[in-house]
Amino acid sequence: MTSLATRLSGPADTTIFERMSGLAREFGAINLGQGFPELPEPPELIAAAQAALAEHSNQYPPMRGLPRLRGAVADYYARTQGLELTADNVVITSGGTEALAASLFALVAPGDEVVLVQPLYDAYLPLVQWAGGVAKVISLTPPEWTLPIDALAAAIGPKTRGIVLNTPNNPVGTMLTRVELEAVGALAEAHDLWVLCDEVWEAMVFDGTPHISPLAIPSLAARAIKVGSAGKIFSMTGWKVGWAVAAPELAAKIAGRHQFLTFTTPPALQWAAAEGLALPDAWFDAQRALYGGLKARLVLGLEGAGFAVLPGSATWFITIDLAASGLSATDAVLAERLVREAGVASIPVSAFYAQAPETGYLRLCFTKNETVLDEAVARLAKFRAQRD
Ligand code: GLN
């Protein structure tokens, strides 16, 4: 009989985000690590949630989500991405991470191989493994972080059942193109694969690059699952309202897993998210302009201080190329030093690798007010100058 301690093996470490936030608190550092805004929160959404708490039932909402929110999600994607959806395509979950979990638990059977693409968000690998799957990991090619279709094709074998994608990409902010997604679609059709796509950053694109979901690619429409997040769209990461969107039969399977993970999601936040998604385009444009301005400010400040910032279209993050910035340490070492010695927390991009990490890139979150960003730049500039 194995001991309890042995049976409790598996990933118990805290995430890199928790760890860096902890270090930021310990050293009183500016926290540009974990991705969350420290900015005024949208008053329309707060008011909608307050009203919903008082006016609507606070008992279990329908398991698959309030019909009003499921319809609002479908309408929002019709308006913003030209997708043809109805409420039958949508399952509301407690955050994007739960949508990923419910989807993988619905799709992966023990022994199935699943292709993951690194840098990868930290939840993908343990979720595939907890579902009994075997991950086959390929890597985007820096510094453009393009998807190597040949490597993807080579990773697909007789046991492969699916691919997990992420566009826009956390951590590096790049986006998959239609051409890349069509190539994925051809492989998925040829090998009868599902494609799970984490699209939680879809509303945070700052350079006009169109966000393309696998659901918009004809060869993928029936085999793709799109994961979205109200927390990201409305800049309130603690709300944990997300969704999975897929063909109705797939959506029903995902709902079957959701019902034994969280079962439902707080109804007041669902009502508020539904109201938020129906806000006029001008609201979303203003939100994007605000965040885009903060991104530009951090990038300009860092470049002025001699840091090389990689181009990226989207997310709340920018990426520093350390070698091109004249810094020779690895990202993991530098992130530790920066939080202790410079007073700025960041995330090493190597933490997003399951194997053979790229070690020369640092992720910084720019969703902070201008004073905080300017102070962070001053601290990083001083640190870099001392090393010249
Ligand atoms: N999505 C956030 C990020 O990338 C982290 C969320 C978390 O801490 N688990 O920074």
Residue 97 CA: which ligand 1 atom is closest? 9
Contact 342, 354 (CB under 8 A): no
Contact 31, 227 (CB under 8 A): no
pLDDT one digit per residue (tens) for the chain, 388 residues? 556 655 555 445 789 999 999 999 999 999 999 999 999 999 999 999 999 999 999 999 999 999 999 999 999 999 999 999 999 999 999 999 999 999 999 999 999 999 999 999 999 999 999 999 999 999 999 999 999 999 999 999 999 999 999 999 999 999 999 999 999 999 999 999 999 999 999 999 999 999 999 999 999 999 999 999 999 999 999 999 999 999 999 999 999 999 999 999 999 999 999 999 999 999 999 999 999 999 999 999 999 999 999 999 999 999 999 999 999 999 999 999 999 999 999 999 999 999 999 999 999 999 999 999 999 999 999 999 987 5
Regarding whether 298 and 240 lie in a shared domain, the answer is: no
Q: How far is the CA of 66 from the centre of ligand 1 (A)?
A: 26
Distances (CA, A) of 84 to 146, 214, 272, 324, 361: 28, 13, 23, 44, 38
Regarding whether 269 and 166 lie in a shared domain, the answer is: yes
Residue 50 inside a domain? The answer is: no
Q: How far is the CA of 200 from the centre of ligand 1 (A)?
A: 11
Regarding whether 286 and 274 lie in a shared domain, the answer is: no
Query: What are the backbone angles phi and psi of residue 326, rounded to the nearest 5°?
Result: 80, 20
Regarding whether 110 and 184 lie in a shared domain, the answer is: yes
Q: How far is the CA of 121 from the centre of ligand 1 (A)?
A: 8
Query: What are the backbone angles phi and psi of residue 163, rounded to the nearest 5°?
Result: -130, 140
Q: How far is the CA of 16 from the centre of ligand 1 (A)?
A: 9
* Contacts of 279 by beta carbon, 8 Å cutoff, 6+ apart: 44
Regarding whether 131 and 18 lie in a shared domain, the answer is: no
Distance between CA atoms of residues 215 and 225, nearest Å: 7
Regarding whether 72 and 34 lie in a shared domain, the answer is: no
Regarding whether 59 and 37 lie in a shared domain, the answer is: no
Distance between CA atoms of residues 103 and 135, nearest Å: 15
Which amino acid makes up residue 111? G
**Positive/negative CA dihedral, 32, 202, 324, 373:** negative
pLDDT of res. 14: 87
* Contacts of 64 by beta carbon, 8 Å cutoff, 6+ apart: 70, 90, 91, 92, 255, 258
Regarding whether 194 and 335 lie in a shared domain, the answer is: no
- With a 6 Å cutoff on the Cβ, whether 34 touches ligand 1 is yes
Distance between CA atoms of residues 319 and 321, nearest Å: 6
- With a 6 Å cutoff on the Cβ, whether 259 touches ligand 1 is no
Residue 48 inside a domain? The answer is: no
**Domain edge (last residue) among 218, 248, 279:** 279
Residue 121 CA: which ligand 1 atom is closest? 4
Residue nearest to atom 8 of ligand 1 (CA): 17
Regarding whether 169 and 300 lie in a shared domain, the answer is: no
- With a 6 Å cutoff on the Cβ, whether 130 touches ligand 1 is no
Residue 248: is the preceding peptide bond cis (ω within 30°)? no
- With a 6 Å cutoff on the Cβ, whether 96 touches ligand 1 is no
- With a 6 Å cutoff on the Cβ, whether 35 touches ligand 1 is yes
Residue 87 inside a domain? The answer is: yes
Q: How far is the CA of 17 from the centre of ligand 1 (A)?
A: 6
Q: For residue 108, give the CATH number of its domain.
A: 3.40.640.10
Residue 122 CA: which ligand 1 atom is closest? 9
Q: How far is the CA of 131 from the centre of ligand 1 (A)?
A: 22
Question: Minimal CA–CA distance to 173: which of 352, 72, 276, 313?
Answer: 313
Residue 168: is the preceding peptide bond cis (ω within 30°)? yes
What letter does residue 332 receive in the DSSP assignment?
A: H
- With a 6 Å cutoff on the Cβ, whether 17 touches ligand 1 is yes
User: Model-level pTM?
Assistant: 0.96
Which amino acid makes up residue 262? T
Residue 261 parent element (H or E): helix 248-261
Q: For residue 365, give the CATH number of its domain.
A: 3.90.1150.10
- With a 6 Å cutoff on the Cβ, whether 283 touches ligand 1 is no
Q: How far is the CA of 48 from the centre of ligand 1 (A)?
A: 25
Residue nearest to atom 3 of ligand 1 (CA): 35
Quote the domain boundaries for residue 324.
Answer: 4-41+282-387
Regarding whether 193 and 315 lie in a shared domain, the answer is: no
**Domain edge (last residue) among 228, 256, 279:** 279
Q: How far is the CA of 183 from the centre of ligand 1 (A)?
A: 29
* Contacts of 5 by beta carbon, 8 Å cutoff, 6+ apart: none
Which amino acid makes up residue 238? G
Regarding whether 247 and 275 lie in a shared domain, the answer is: yes
- With a 6 Å cutoff on the Cβ, whether 170 touches ligand 1 is yes
**Domain edge (last residue) among 279, 313, 331:** 279
Q: How far is the CA of 3 from the centre of ligand 1 (A)?
A: 33
Regarding whether 133 and 92 lie in a shared domain, the answer is: yes
Residue 30 inside a domain? The answer is: yes
pLDDT of res. 279: 98
What's the alpha-carbon Rg for the chain, to the nearest Å? 21
Residue 348 parent element (H or E): strand 347-348
Residue 119: is the preceding peptide bond cis (ω within 30°)? yes
Percentage helix, strand, coil, to 5, in the chain? 45, 15, 35
Q: How far is the CA of 18 from the centre of ligand 1 (A)?
A: 8
